[in-house]
Amino acid sequence: MRLVSEFVWMLSSLIHNARVPQDTDAAEIKEFHTALIDFLKQNSEPKNIFYRVASNREVLNTLNSLHGKMLELARRVANISDDDQHDWNSKWLECSQIREAQMVFQLKETRNVQEILPDRTSQIEALTFLKYELDKYPCDQLVFDAYKKLSSQLNIHDVSVPKWLIPRYEIQFSDKTLQTDGTFGSVYVGALHKNKVIPQFGEEIVKFQEFMLEHKKKNSLERFLRRRTVEREIYKFHSKIDFLYQLLNLTHIAESAAWQAKYYENERVHRERLDLIVSQNQVIISEIRGRALIE
């Protein structure tokens, strides 16, 4: 969903035709930021895995709507023509279709793997994820009941969660790391400490709102001279929206392609180990039954 470069290029090429926005722009900017704050409030509290999966589509639709409103406001301030807006919408739609295709592909791959792997391996994997959720939300009765029931069925009562399974945005970063993360430092703080997510995002939203309102008051020449500043500020805010999309889309924050490759490699190794454990257990059970029949 990284269309930041195209977005910046579009603004850079069209900022020369900037006009004085209508008075209604200020009210619409405030309305947009109010809607974004309300959305963050609703999705900042910790939720269990069942709730997050059930509300995933609603989260994606809301974020797409907010993204569209932000682009419309930027279009008015920069006086972007209908043709240029159509080109941008086409790129945005193409990117959305690619993302949807990737989600469908991942879903099919997951189902294929589940069909290939033995039933007990899939159950152990589910038990591991339930243990991970139970460690985060020990008071969640639904997760507790599901974990206990599956644990009893598998006769496994001591489950450990591998460190690589924990999403990157839930790992406690050191203060030094946060300070060197630049723009995303405050976003990590909000993701790690749920009670601070609204102040952290709210502060950035207010800054962007003040910048937009200040920019619309400038004359055409001043706004032309500030075009680099406009590009930089919109780039920052656009990046944070993309980051929030990834965060609430239940995806792992892959800082680099190398890290993502390492994650899937660890996942593959983990599956192989689970499969090996199941095979060994089946061999042991068969030997025990055989000895019992002989005796």
Q: Helices 197-216 & 227-248, crossing angle to 10 degrees?
A: 150
- Residue with the bigger pLDDT between 48 and 99: it is 99
- Residue with the bigger pLDDT between 183 and 237: it is 237
| pLDDT tops 60 at residue 247 | no
pLDDT of residue 106: 64
Give residue-wise pLDDT tens across range 121-149. 667 777 787 888 788 777 777 777 778 88
Mean pLDDT check: name the lowest of 17-31, 160-174, 231-245. Answer: 17-31
> Backbone phi, then psi, for 162, in 5-degree steps?
-60, 145
Q: Helices 24-43 & 56-78, crossing angle to 10 degrees?
A: 160
| pLDDT tops 80 at residue 31 | no
Mean pLDDT check: name the lowest of 93-102, 108-117, 133-142. Answer: 108-117
Average pLDDT rounded to a whole number, residues 49-55: 60
**Confidence class for position 34, pLDDT limits 50, 70, 90:** confident
Give residue-wise pLDDT tens across range 198-243. 455 556 667 777 777 777 777 766 666 666 677 667 666 766 655 5
Mean pLDDT check: name the lowest of 59-63, 254-258, 279-283, 291-295. Answer: 254-258
Give residue-wise pLDDT tens across range 276-293. 766 666 666 666 666 555
Element containing residue 107 per DSSP (H, E): helix 82-116
Query: What is the C-alpha separation between 103 and 105, in angstroms, rounded?
Result: 5
Residue 288 Cα distances to 104, 215, 232, 280, 291, angstroms: 44, 78, 69, 12, 5
Mean pLDDT check: name the lowest of 208-212, 242-246, 268-272. Answer: 242-246
pLDDT of residue 16: 37
**Confidence class for position 55, pLDDT limits 50, 70, 90:** low
pLDDT of residue 177: 41
pLDDT of residue 135: 81
Average pLDDT rounded to a whole number, residues 40-56: 61
Q: Return the closest-CA partner of residue 137 out of 60, 46, 30, 72.
A: 46
Query: What is the C-alpha separation between 289 and 295, in angstroms, rounded?
Result: 10
DSSP collapsed to 3 states, the chain: CCCHHHHHHHHHHHHHHCCCCCCHHHHHHHHHHHHHHHHHHHHCCCCCHHHHHHCHHHHHHHHHHHHHHHHHHHHHHHCCCHHHHHHHHHHHHHHHHHHHHHHHHHHHHHHHHHHHCCHHHHHHHHHHHHHHHHHHCCCCHHHHHHHHHHHHHHCCCCCCCCHHHCCHHHCCCCHHHHHHCHHHHHHHHHHHCHHHHHHHHHHHHHHHHHHHHHHHCCCHHHHHHCHHHHHHHHHHHHHHHHHHHHHHCCCCCCCCHHHHHHHHHHHHHHHHHHHHHHHHHHHHHHHHHHHHHHC
Average pLDDT rounded to a whole number, residues 108-129: 65
pLDDT of residue 189: 40
Q: Tell me what percent of the residues of the chain surpass a pLDDT of 70.
A: 21
Query: What is the C-alpha separation between 10 and 77, in angstroms, rounded?
Result: 13
Burial (0-12, 13-18, 19+ Cβ within 10 Å), 29: buried
Residue type, 155: N
Using alpha carbons only, give the angle 28, 30, 31 rounded to the nearest 5 degrees.
60
Which residue reads 């969903």 in tokens? 1
Q: Return the closest-CA partner of residue 230 out of 1, 2, 21.
A: 21
Residue type, 34: T
Enumerate the domain spans of the chain: 1-154, 171-292
pLDDT of residue 201: 58
Q: Tell me what percent of the residues of the chain surpass a pLDDT of 90.
A: 0
Write down the pTM of the prediction: 0.25
pLDDT of residue 214: 78
Q: Is 129 left (phi over 0), alpha (psi -120 to 50) or beta?
A: alpha
| pLDDT tops 50 at residue 5 | no
Average pLDDT rounded to a whole number, residues 109-125: 62
The per-residue pLDDT of the chain, averaged, comes to 61
Query: What is the C-alpha separation between 206 and 279, in angstroms, rounded?
Result: 57
